[in-house]
Structures are given as structure tokens and as C-alpha cells.
Amino acid sequence: MNYDYSAYYVLLSLVLFTIGTVGFIVRKNAIVAFMCLELMLNAANIAFVALSRRVGNLDGEIAVFFVMAVAAAEAAVGLAIVIALFRNLETTESSDAMELRL
Amino acid sequence: MENSLTLACIPLFPLVGALLTYGVGKSSKDLAGWVATGASLLSFIFTLLTFQQLRALVGAHSYEVAAAGAHGAHHGGEAQVYRALEAPLFEWFRIGDFGVDFLFRFDSLTAVMCLVVTGIGTLIHLYSIGYMAEDESRPRFFSYLNLFLFSMLLLVLGGNLLVLFVGWEGVGLCSYLLIGFWHKNIAFAGAGRKAFVVNRIGDAAFLIALFLLIQHFGTLDFVALKAAFENTLASEALLTAIALCFFIGATGKSAQIPLFVWLPDAMAGPTPVSALIHAATMVTAGVYLTARMHFLFDLTPYALLIVVCIAVLTAIVAASIALVQNDIKKVLAYSTVSQLGFMFVAAGCGAYWVAVFHLVTHAFFKACLFLGSGSVIHACHHEQDMREMGGLLKVMPWTGLTYGISTLAIAGIFPLSGYFSKHHIVEALSHSGETNPYLGTYEAAFTAVITAAAIMTAFYVTRSFAMTFLGSYRGHAHPHESPVTMVIPLVVLALLALGGGVLNGMVPFQLWLGHTIPVGHVHSSESIGAALLHSWPGFVGVAFGLLFYTVLPQVPKALATTLPWMLGALRGKLYIDELYGAVIVRPLEGMARMLWKGVDQRVVDGCVNGTAAIVDVSGEVVRNTATGQLRHYALLMFAGTVFLIAFYFAM
Amino acid sequence: MDEQLLFGTFPLLTTLIFLPLLGAVTLLFLPGERSSEQGEGEGALGLPVVVALFFSALTFLVSLVLVSRFDPENTSYQFQEQISWIPSLGVSYILGVDGISILLVLLTTFLMPIIFLASKSVREGRRGYLFHMLALETAMLGTLLSLDLFLFYVFWELMLAPMYFIIGIWGGKRRIYATLKFVLYTVVGSLLMLVALFSLVWSYAEQSGEVTFALNEIVGNVQLSVEEQLWLFAAFALAFGIKVPIFPFHTWLPDAHVEAPTGGSVVLAGVLLKMGLYGFIRIAYPLFPEGASFFGPYLAGLAVIGIVYGALVAWAQHDIKKLVAYSSVSHLGYCVLGFVAMNTLAATGSIYQMLNHGISTGALFLLVGVLYDRKHTREISAYGGLAGKVPLFAFLFLVFTLSSIALPLTNGFVGEFLILAGSYQQFPTLTLVAVSGVILGAVYMLTLYMKTMFGEFHEERNGDLTDVNSRELMTLAPLFVLVFVMGVYPAPFLGMIEPTVAQYVKDHHERTMTSQNRSNPRALPSGGIDFARSPETPEVESETAKASSGVPSVLVSTAQETLVQQVSS
């Protein structure tokens, strides 16, 4: 009964992270990219929790709270940027926002 | 040595005159000429005063002893004690043990030079008042002329080589300014530049000689150098090198092969300038230098051989070019080059006093010839081509007469001055082998060539005289006799040319110079018959000259048609200017352009700008990685992370 | 007594350095210049110029006081001031002046008022221009007077900034290119110098246990291996060589000169270029005698190349300013050659020639400025026949041209003669080549003179040309007078330079010898081949003394020859 299933969770986290990474690299839409980013963060969260349970202390869970707090802040700032981007360029494609490159 | 105040004043007058003339010229242009002439005359008077002092110093006693010895086989040089007047002005500079004083020294050689310079200088100043009467910028002219006199006096009065060099360069500058006096004509200005630059080549060699002297003898003072040379242990190679460097300097200033090319071009200057600078005084500076440095040249027989070779070659080459020139001033210019060659022949044979003697007589008759030509040019409204002249003797009797006398003098016909100096030159050459074994080998050949040059000399001056003054007038102007200010100098100079030979007869010129330079045997005077016999080259030349250009004009024409290549070569001045242009000037110019465009802009700046360009390009390349695409950055980040992890595990 | 009280502790050198800076700061507080710039007549200078002129003249007066109280016979540093600055790094504020720097200081302070008088041609933002000029004067004086390596470096770099702006803002068409080139060139050298500086100081700290930048303490005490010396010397030589500029590093100079405003060109030619050679004299040679004796001949070679090359390239120029700039390359070659020859004759001449070059080339740039102000072109072909139209200009131009080609009785001759006479003893072959520069100098300068002043006058093009006006004459007159004073009676100037230089040369030869003894005792001659280097033989000492004074005599050398024969037999 004491069988450890944490490996499956880590595997899940890995899959989610990969989806997030590939999505972030492949997709141009800023909102999608943003979602992918969240996916990666949450993948990390899953790994944290799973491994925390396996190790048997609460360090991982505590880290998850931080990650969630950062993700929330990031979502607030990130979405604001996307809105500002849309207002200025009437697009949410990140590839169109390259003003800073001469 | 004795200090002399009058000595210090001699060069002062022309210097003040140069400044004053320019100032005076602002208000009255005519006054300027008189101020300048006055300055020159004062200088002449002070030279005479100083000359008297020197005579007193040298002493009647030693003078008479020497004169008595003149009739025996007395060595003029040995009995003499070197005496001179001095005027130390200030210490120019002193670095450690090596110092140079601004010092004037007046000995018997300087006295002769000074008298010639200020005397003839004054006459030519006077002449210029008439000659330049219509020129707008004549104050400038007289100012330069005074400045020249000042420089020339520094040259001959300088008690050491560096003060001499000051004058040496100074006369070069004045020559530059005066040749290019009519500077609106760029060709004239170019001739001035050419003169300066060619002289500078000689000056560079002069400087090297000075460096060698400083290095090995530590002084530039003539007296100290003479003492140092008397028992020097320096190698002959070194001495020869120094002597040759000085001689190269002299070839520049005194227009010898290979640096004579500037003198004919220098005729672009006003004619009084040609008379004063390019005939009587400045161009003889090289001869003066050789005589002054006799103690050096005496130790270097090999250098003397080279001197004589160059001089003989110059004498004959220049004389042959002069044969066919049609520009009256060009004839005289080449004649000057040739006569300077004669002087160097004498100097090269160790007969320095003969060189100086010829310098003096040449100054008389050549200045007279030049001034005469100036008078003619003035009369013919600046026409210089002798083919446009002729028959001027009738309209310009004074000019014609003085020109004729000088012609006979330069031809070397007894009893005119030229005979004495020229005869001594030939004699010195034919005895040169006695003291200099190198010369002994070629003695006969040299004598033959120099005699030929003497015949040619007589021929071409007679030709110029005949073409100008005899026959009938071929030009279109209305020639007239020149004003009295121009005629007086002509007459004085003609008298000097006529009687200059007396210098060696009644006044023992040779003995006088013997106070300063070795004069060897004092020759006893010869009979009139022998003298007339010895002036045969002059007679031959004059006879043929008269024959060809008055009675038988078809002969030179026939010669010209039979030998056209020779005529062309001589007319073209043996194409030496063209040769220098092709071999030296243009390659250097090309090199200058190549160095600028090729090396400076392409290689050096290429490296500099290339470095900048490399930075630029590499920035451009690296910049491509910054696409501005979020996805690309993310990919890079991912790849980097993967790489780091892989690296971590691989380790 | 009173004088002692007045000047004994008075920081004369600090005053000298910072007076111009005070002037620069004062300029900032002046009322706006719009009112003063508009509607001013030709005669009025405007308040900012007057202020700048006042401060620079004051500085000149202070430097005159300095010169009058300077003791030429005392060869050590005088008027020394020393304050600890950054004690933890061993950096101090040390100033001092000796016979080598004093006349350069005087030249600097002398040229500045002239530059301000000539600043009329700067039309826009003149106050900024004056500000930078005054700041530049402070930096130059600081460089000349500092005896602490760190302080020297600070001032050295400080010279760069004002010059950068002077060319970059008030320059000609290609000013940005020119000023960037100038700064980048110089900075490359300076950075190497900085590295070498720290390396030197750390080595000395390891050796003595004390971190110090004080030049006096390091010179003569620091012990470096030959290899270290070579590297460090090379680094310093590059920095200084670029500034001089020595041959392959010279291409910034023509561009900078051409683009700089008149005043900038004058100060560049007059003072800044001398800083490179001054660096060699003050720092590179005393610190690294081994490096100096190794690189000396190469430097001399480059200097001679520079002489001939600069002259030839100058000949090919179409732009008056560029021609004068290349002539500077040639002239500075003489200075370097003279110094590198390392005997009193040549080195004194070299320092004297630095002054001469400042005067004659400075004046030439002023004259070009006069033309440029009127016709706005520097093309030689745009002029011609000016001698008839502007006689005074032509006369002044002639005098400075002659001074530039070293005609006797002008200042240039004395310097050039001493340099060549001295260097001939050290580098005969190189000097023979260098003498050709005497000829080429005449060629390019007289060609320039002929093409601009002589020949046909273009009435329609230059008919409105006016002669030198009284303000311009005021800028040129002092230089004109100096040309002749320094040419005819150089004794007072040489008298200030010579004792210090003689001592310097002697010290240098001693350092070279001791350094050789230490680093390689076996290198001493033992077979009687090279006596001149051995300090043991008494004959040789006199010979070295002779060599250092520049005048060996035949007698000594023959005595040596017999000695050689005896030893070898």
C-alpha cells in the first residue's frame, strides 16, 4: 500500500512542461504563449508537490506557494502588457512587436 | 687677432638698409633705390676702412719682406703669420663642449671678397636705380638686394663654418626671392624654387660635412680647424669624405655638374640680379669655401682630383652649350657656369689664390657683361633674343664699348684682366702633377680640355658681341642709350676688367692672399711677347667669332645643317633638365603620390579603418541573433538550459 | 626674504594648472551669450572671449613668474608640491618642473591667449569652445607638471575629452570621423599604458613592499627583468608614439588637423603632439632604460621614415592644412630622432625643436585659418598670386614658411641643426637619410608657397580677399618676433634646457649601464672590443662623458685605438 506513485506525477509534469515549452516556442500569439508559460510553471508545481511527498517534507509545497504567487503577479503584469500591445499594434502576435530591433 | 668695430658695421648697413628701404618705399619709391645704394656704399666704405686696419695689422714690414721675396723663389705662405681682425658679436649657442660664436673675422681673403661684394654690389645697386625705374615694386627689389648683400657679407665674414652657412643659406633665399621677383609669372617663381631646392641639395651635403667636423674635431671655427688639421691623425677616407661633402655643397651654390641646372633658369630674375648674384658674388661662394677650407683640401689629393674632373667637365660642357644659345642672358649664364669651372680647376690644383684671382677678374668682366646685356635688354624693350638685335654699337656706344672690353677680357687676351687669371689657371693645371700625383696622370688631358674651353669662351662671347652690336639692327624696338646711372657702373666695371690684371702686376695680389692661404711659388712677370703668345686661345676664339658672325655668316649655318643633332642637343642644353625630370623629379613626385594614396590612405588607414570595419561587421553578424522574436529567444534559452544540463552531467 | 615668504610655500604650479579651469568655470556663470554674439562689430571680442583671454593671460603671467624664478643650473625638479591623494592606492598629487618641461609649459601658456584672440572665427557656441579650450589648458599643464604616474594618467586622459569636443562640435565637414579616429587611436594607446602602469606599480610594490605611483621613487629604484622592461616600454611607447605621432600611427593627425577649427589645430600642433615625446622623456625612458636601449634604434628608424615619408606625402597634398599636418609628421620625426640619439646635443635640440615647431606650425595654421575665414576653402588650387593682393599676409607666410624649412637665423635652424649634428654621432646612416628631409622640406613648403602666393591672380575668385587685419596681426606678431629671437639668440632658451638635459642624458647612460651589469654581468666587454660601455676603465669614462656631451675628439678615440691594439696583442 505504500507503493510510491510519485514517478507518474513527475512524468506528468515532464509532459506538461514539454507541451508548455514547445507551445511557447512554436506559437506566436502572446496569450497562447502566456498560457504555455503558465503550463510550464504548473508543471513545475506538480513536480514540486510530487517530489515533496516522496522526500517527506514540506519544502516543495512551500516553494509551490511562491511559484503561484509569482505566477499570479506575472499574470497581472503579463496580461497588462498584452492589452497594451493590442492597444498599440492591434494584434496579440508577439512576432509583430519588434520595435526595439532596428 | 684684433677686435674691430668697423668690421661689425660692414654687414649692418645692408641689413638696416633692407628694412629701411621697405619702409621708405612706402612713401617714395624712387627714394628706396637711393637708400639701398647708400647702405651699400657705406658698407663699401667701411670695408675700405677695415681693409686699412688690416693692412696696418699685417704690417708694412712683413709686407715688404714678402714683396722682396717675390723676385726670388720665395714661398709666399711660409713666412706669413696669420693675422686677422675679429668682431665677436655674441655666443650663438653652446651645448656642452661644443659652442658656436657669432663671429666675424676679416683676413686678407675676406678682404678681397668683401671688397668685391660691396664694391660691385654698390655699382649694381646704382645701375638698378635706372634699370628698375619703371617697376612698381622696386622698393621690394632694393630691399631684397640689400638683404642679399647682408647675407653675402655674413658668408664671407663668418669666422666659423656655421656663420658662413647662415650667409650661405641666406644668399640662397635672396636668390630665390630675386629670381622669382616678377612672381606673377609662375615660370619665374618656379625658377626661383628650382634654384632654392637645387641649392638645398648642396646644402644638405654641406651640413653633413659640418656634422663630420663636429664629430671628429669638435669645432667649426676656421682658425681652430686649421690648427686641428695641421697635425691630425684622422684617416684620409674621412678627410676625403668631408672635402667631398663640402664640394657637393659648392657644386650646388657655384653651379657645377651635376647641380648647375638652376643657374640658367635663374636668368628669370631682373638682369642686375643676374649680374650681382648669378655672376659676380653668390655663385662664387663655392670657390670661396674651397679656398677657405684649403687646409682640408690640401690633405685630400683624391678629393682634389674629383674637384678638377668635375670642374673641367663643367667648363667644357657649359661652354659648348653657350656656343649655340640665342638668348643673350643664357649665353652669359652658361658662360658663368663654365668660368666657375675654371675657378674650380684652379682650386682643385691647389692654386687657391688663382681661383680667387679669377673670381675677382670674373666678377669684373662678367658683371660688366651682364649689366651690358641688361642695358641692351632695357633698350630693346625686354627683348632678350640676339637674333632680334644687331648694330647696337651705333645707338648705344657706351654699352657697346664696355661690352666689347669685357668680351676681350673674358676671352683672355693680354693685357686685359682675364688673361692673367686664365693664364695662371692653365699654368697651375700644367704643374699640378708636382704636388698631387693623382692629377699628374691626367695633367695633359685636362690642360687640353681647358684650353679648348678657353677657345670656346672667346668664341661665344665674341659671337654674342657680334650678334648684338655689329651688323644691322634686326628688331622692331627703338633702342637708345641707357641713363647715366646705368652707364657709370658699366664704365667703372669695364675699366676694372681692363686693368684688373694689374692686381697681379703692381699690387702683389698673390702675396696679399698669402697671408691667409698658401700661394706657392711667386711667379716672376713674363715678357709682353710671351704674354701675347700665351693668349693665343683668346685670339683664336675671337677671330673665329668675328669671322663667323660678321664676314662669313654662312659657315655657322652650314655647320648647323650638317650637324643638326649636335645643334639640337646643345640648344636643348644636352637635355639634362629633362633627364633630371625623368630620373629624379617625376619618380619622386610619383612616389609621393603613391605614398599618400597607396600607403597612407590604403595601407595605414586601411588597417585602421579595417579594424573599425571588422568591429562593425562582427557586430552586424552577432546582431542577427537578436531577431526581436520572443520565440527565438525562448528557444535559445531552452537550448542553453539543455546544454548546461548536458554539460553538467557530462562532467 | 620677502620673496621667500611670498613664494616659498605658495603653490605656484597648482595655481598655474587650475587657473584656466577657474576661467572655464567662470565662463559658465556668464550671462547668456545671445545678446553678446549678435550685432557685435569686427572689433569687439565679446565678453566670453575677454574672460578667456583674461584667464589665459593671467596663466601666462604666472608661468612667466615661474620662469623668472626657475634656476637653470638646478637639474632636479623645482617648485615641488606633494599632497597625498588616495593613500590606500599610494596615489599622490605631486607636481614639479625641470628644464625639460618648463619651456613646454611656457609654450602652452603662451599659445593659449593667441588661440583665444583667434577664436573670433568660431561663430556658434563660442562659449562652449572657450570652455573646452581652457579645460584643455588645465589638462595639458597638468600632464606637463605631474610627477605622479596616476596623476599623469588622469591629466593625460583629460586632454582627450576637450579635444574630442573641439573637433567634434566646431570642426569641418568630416569632423565626426576625424574626432572618432583621433579618440580611438589615442585610447588604444592609453589603455595599454594604463595596464603597463599598473603592472609597473605592482612589480615595484612587490619589490619594495610599498604601493606608490610617485615617479621619483620608482625611477632608478625599480628592478625589472629585461623582458619585463621590453614589454612595458613597448606598451608605453605605443601610447606615446601614437600621440607624437610616430610613422605608422600618424593617420589620425591629418584628419584631425584638417577638421579641427583653427584654434584646435594650433593647440594640437603646438602642444598636444609634444605630449607624446614628453611622455617618452619623462616616463618611458627613465623607467625602462633597457627597453629604451633596445627599442631606441627602431624608434630612430621610424622617426627617419616619418621625416622622409611625411615630407613626401606633404608634397602630394592639395589641401593646405593637410600639407601642414604632414609637415608636422616630418618635423616631429626630427624631434624623436634627436631625443632617441640620447646625447646632449641632439636631445637639447629636440626639446628646442619642439618649441620651434609649436611656434612655426602654430603660426602656419593661424595663417591658413586667416585664408579659410575669408574664402572657406583650403584647396591650394583655389588660390594663386595672392602676393600682390595681400602683401602682408604673403610676407608673414614667407617668414613662417622659412622658419618651417629651417632657414638659418630663424628658430627652426638651431633646433634642426643641433638634432642632426647630435644624432649623426649616434645614427650616422639614419641621419644621412634624415638630412634629405631638409631638401624635401624646402620642396613641399616652397611649392605650397609658390602655388598660393605666386602666379596668376584669380580676380573673380579672390578679388574680395582682404589682408591680415589688426586682430589677426596681434595673434601672429608674437610668433613672428619669436621666430627671429629664437633663431638669432637662442642662448637663454638653450641655457634653461641644456643643464637638465645633460644631467638627464648622463643619468640615462648610467642607468643603462647599471641595468646591464645587473641583468647580465657577462655581457660586459672583456676582449677590448667595446670599451665605451665598460664603467671600469678610466679612459672610457671620459669617452662616455664625451659621447654624452656629443663631442668626442680624435685624440680620445686614437688613444682608445692604441689601447685596443695593446689589449688584442
Q: How many domains does chain B have?
A: 2
Q: Determine the 3-state secondary structure of B74 from DSSP.
A: coil
B549 and B591 together in one domain = no
pLDDT band at C476; cut points 50, 70, 90 = very high
Count the alpha carbons within 13 Å of B362 in the hemisphere toward its beta carbon. 32
B388 and B417 together in one domain = yes
- Give the closest-approach CA distance of C500 to chain B in angstroms: 12
> Of the candidates C413, C135, C139, which has an alpha carbon nearest to the alpha carbon of residue B167?
C413
B553 and B624 together in one domain = no
B410 and B547 together in one domain = yes
* Residues near A5 by beta carbon (within 8 Å), at least 6 away in sequence: none
Angle between helices C102-117 and C47-69 (to 10 degrees): 160
Give the per-residue pLDDT at B558: 82
B558 and B579 together in one domain = no
B413 and B343 together in one domain = yes
- Put simply, the answer to whether B197 touches C450 (Cβ < 8 Å) is no
Give the per-residue pLDDT at C79: 87
Q: Considering all CA atoms of chain B, what is the largest pairwise distance in Å, rounded to the nearest integer?
A: 124
User: What is the rounded average pLDDT of the residues C470-475?
Assistant: 88
Continuous segment of H or E residues that includes residue B104: strand B98-106
User: What is the rounded average pLDDT of the residues B236-264?
Assistant: 91
Cβ atoms of B144 and B9 within 8 Å: the answer is no
Q: How far is the CA of B584 from the CAs of B591, C88, C215, C391, in angstroms? A: 10, 64, 50, 34
Which chains contact B through at least 3 pairs of Cβ atoms less than 8 Å apart?
Answer: A, C
How far apart (Å, rounded) are the C-alpha atoms in residues C137 and B546? Answer: 77
Give the per-residue pLDDT at B72: 38
Q: Domain range spanning residue B559?
A: 300-500+535-563
Residue B181 is assigned to a structural domain of this protein: no
Cis peptide bond prior to B479, omega within 30° of 0: no
Cβ atoms of C306 and C329 within 8 Å: the answer is yes
Least CA distance to B620: which residue of chain A?
A102
- Give the closest-approach CA distance of A43 to chain B in angstroms: 16
* Residues near B649 by beta carbon (within 8 Å), at least 6 away in sequence: none
Cβ atoms of B251 and B258 within 8 Å: the answer is yes
How far apart (Å, rounded) are the C-alpha atoms in residues C151 and C94? Answer: 8
Q: Does B593 touch chain C (CB under 8 A)?
A: yes
Give me the total of CB pairs closer than 8 Å, taking one residue from chain B and one from chain C.
163
DSSP character string of B406-454: HHHHHHT-TTSHHHHHHHHHHHHHHTGGGT-HHHHHHHHHHHHHHHHHH
Whether the pLDDT of residue B99 is over 90: the answer is no
How far apart (Å, rounded) are the C-alpha atoms in residues B628 and C463? Answer: 61
CATH code, A70: 1.10.287.3510
Whether the pLDDT of residue B560 is over 90: the answer is no
Give the per-residue pLDDT at A2: 61
> Of the candidates C490, C505, C394, which has an alpha carbon nearest to the alpha carbon of residue C449?
C394
Give the per-residue pLDDT at B505: 61
> Of the candidates B414, B407, B431, B399, which has an alpha carbon nearest to the alpha carbon of residue B502?
B414
DSSP character string of B200-243: HHHHHHHHHHHHHHHHHHS--BHHHHHHHHHT----HHHHHHHH
* CB contacts, 8 Å: C316 with chain B: 589, 592-593, 595-597
Count the alpha carbons within 13 Å of B190 in the hemisphere toward its beta carbon. 7
Give the per-residue pLDDT at C76: 85
Whether the pLDDT of residue C127 is over 50: the answer is yes
Burial class of residue A8 in the structure, from the number of CB atoms within 10 Å of its CB (0-12 exposed, 13-18 middle, 19+ buried) = exposed
pLDDT band at C545; cut points 50, 70, 90 = very low
Give the number of other Cβ atoms within 10 Å of residue B347's Cβ: 33
- Put simply, the answer to whether B631 touches A21 (Cβ < 8 Å) is no
Q: Can you read off the three cell numbers belonging to residue C564?
A: 685596443
B462 and B580 together in one domain = no
Residue B363 is assigned to a structural domain of this protein: yes
How far apart (Å, rounded) are the C-alpha atoms in residues A60 and A37? Answer: 20
pLDDT band at A102; cut points 50, 70, 90 = low
Nearest to C421 among B211, B228, B232 (CB): B211
Residue A34 is assigned to a structural domain of this protein: yes
* CB contacts, 8 Å: B634 with chain A: 21, 24-25
* CB contacts, 8 Å: A100 with chain B: 628
Give the per-residue pLDDT at B174: 92
B459 and B322 together in one domain = yes
How far apart (Å, rounded) are the C-alpha atoms in residues C200 and C187? Answer: 19
Residue A23 is assigned to a structural domain of this protein: no
Q: Does C489 touch chain B (CB under 8 A)?
A: yes
Give the per-residue pLDDT at B647: 92
Residue B234 is assigned to a structural domain of this protein: no
Q: Domain range spanning residue A46?
A: 28-95
B352 and B426 together in one domain = yes
How far apart (Å, rounded) are the C-alpha atoms in residues C347 and C334? Answer: 10
pTM: 0.86
Residue B93 is assigned to a structural domain of this protein: no
What pLDDT digit, counting tens, does each position of B355-402 carry?
Answer: 998 999 999 999 999 999 999 988 888 888 888 888 888 888 889 999
Which chains contact C through at least 3 pairs of Cβ atoms less than 8 Å apart?
Answer: B
Give the per-residue pLDDT at B501: 76
What pLDDT digit, counting tens, does each position of A14-33 carry?
Answer: 999 999 999 988 888 888 98
What pLDDT digit, counting tens, does each position of B214-244 carry?
Answer: 988 888 999 889 888 888 888 889 999 999 9
* CB contacts, 8 Å: C425 with chain B: 211, 214-215
Percent above pLDDT 90 for chain C: 48
* CB contacts, 8 Å: B627 with chain A: 98, 101
Give the per-residue pLDDT at B30: 81
Percent above pLDDT 90 for chain B: 36
User: What is the rounded average pLDDT of the residues B41-57?
Assistant: 90
pLDDT band at C536; cut points 50, 70, 90 = very low
What pLDDT digit, counting tens, does each position of C136-170 carry?
Answer: 999 999 999 999 999 999 999 999 999 999 998 88
Best mutation target among A14, A24, A31, A92 (most B Cβ atoms within 10 Å) is A24
- Put simply, the answer to whether B200 touches C388 (Cβ < 8 Å) is no
User: What is the rounded average pLDDT of the residues B193-201?
Assistant: 92
User: What is the rounded average pLDDT of the residues C438-458?
Assistant: 90
Whether the pLDDT of residue B65 is over 80: the answer is no
- Give the closest-approach CA distance of B631 to chain A in angstroms: 5
- Put simply, the answer to whether B631 touches A28 (Cβ < 8 Å) is yes
B471 and B620 together in one domain = no
What pLDDT digit, counting tens, does each position of C246-302 carry?
Answer: 988 888 999 999 999 999 999 999 999 999 999 999 999 998 988 898 999 999 999
How far apart (Å, rounded) are the C-alpha atoms in residues B325 and B460? Answer: 9
Amino acid at the residue C146: S
Residue A16 is assigned to a structural domain of this protein: no
How far apart (Å, rounded) are the C-alpha atoms in residues B386 and B373? Answer: 10
- Put simply, the answer to whether B96 touches C552 (Cβ < 8 Å) is no
What pLDDT digit, counting tens, does each position of C179-227 carry?
Answer: 988 998 889 889 999 999 999 998 888 888 888 888 888 888 888 888 8
Give the per-residue pLDDT at B149: 93
Q: Considering all CA atoms of chain C, what is the largest pairwise distance in Å, rounded to the nearest integer?
A: 89
Give the per-residue pLDDT at B59: 67
pLDDT band at B480; cut points 50, 70, 90 = confident
The CA-based angle C508-C514-C515, given to 5 degrees, is: 85
* CB contacts, 8 Å: C387 with chain B: 183
pLDDT band at C471; cut points 50, 70, 90 = confident
How far apart (Å, rounded) are the C-alpha atoms in residues B87 and B9? Answer: 10
Give the per-residue pLDDT at C468: 86
pLDDT band at B513; cut points 50, 70, 90 = confident
Chain mean pLDDT for chain B: 86
Whether the pLDDT of residue B582 is over 70: the answer is yes
Enter the ipTM: 0.89
Cβ atoms of B413 and B538 within 8 Å: the answer is yes
- Put simply, the answer to whether B629 touches A95 (Cβ < 8 Å) is yes
- Put simply, the answer to whether A100 touches B628 (Cβ < 8 Å) is yes
Angle between helices C320-341 and C289-315 (to 10 degrees): 150
Best mutation target among B19, B93, B176, B231 (most C Cβ atoms within 10 Å) is B93
- Give the closest-approach CA distance of B114 to chain C in angstroms: 21
Q: Does A1 touch chain B (CB under 8 A)?
A: no
Best mutation target among B630, B632, B636 (most A Cβ atoms within 10 Å) is B630
What residues 105-164 of chain C have any CB closer than 8 A to a CB of chain B?
A: none
* CB contacts, 8 Å: B631 with chain A: 24-28, 33, 94-95
Question: Dihedral, CA atoms, B361, B366, B372, B378, nearest 10 degrees?
Answer: -140
Whether the pLDDT of residue B580 is over 50: the answer is yes
Cβ atoms of B335 and B406 within 8 Å: the answer is no
Q: Does A95 touch chain B (CB under 8 A)?
A: yes
- Put simply, the answer to whether B93 touches C494 (Cβ < 8 Å) is yes
Cβ atoms of B368 and B456 within 8 Å: the answer is no
Give the per-residue pLDDT at C398: 93
pLDDT band at C516; cut points 50, 70, 90 = low
Query: What are the two backbone dihedrals, phi and then psi, of residue B385, each rounded to the nearest 5 degrees?
Result: -80, 120
Q: Does B221 touch chain C (CB under 8 A)?
A: no
Chain mean pLDDT for chain C: 84
Q: Does B626 touch chain A (CB under 8 A)?
A: yes
Residue A9 is assigned to a structural domain of this protein: no
How many contiguous H segments (helices) and E segments (strands) does chain B have? 32, 3
Q: Which residue has the higher pLDDT, C35 or C33?
A: C33
B549 and B617 together in one domain = no
DSSP 8-state class, residue B317 = H
Burial class of residue C162 in the structure, from the number of CB atoms within 10 Å of its CB (0-12 exposed, 13-18 middle, 19+ buried) = buried
Least CA distance to B194: which residue of chain C?
C443
Which chains contact A through at least 3 pairs of Cβ atoms less than 8 Å apart?
Answer: B
Q: Does C72 touch chain B (CB under 8 A)?
A: no
Q: How many domains does chain A have?
A: 1
Give the per-residue pLDDT at C83: 87
Amino acid at the residue A52: S
B584 and B544 together in one domain = no
How far apart (Å, rounded) are the C-alpha atoms in residues C478 and C481? Answer: 5
* CB contacts, 8 Å: A27 with chain B: 631
* CB contacts, 8 Å: C251 with chain B: 600, 604-605, 608
B273-301 burial, b if ≥16 CB within 10 A, otherwise e? bbbbbbbbbbbbbbbbbbbbbbbbbbbbb
Give the per-residue pLDDT at B61: 43
* CB contacts, 8 Å: A89 with chain B: none
Q: Does C416 touch chain B (CB under 8 A)?
A: no
Paired with C148 in beta bridges are: C214
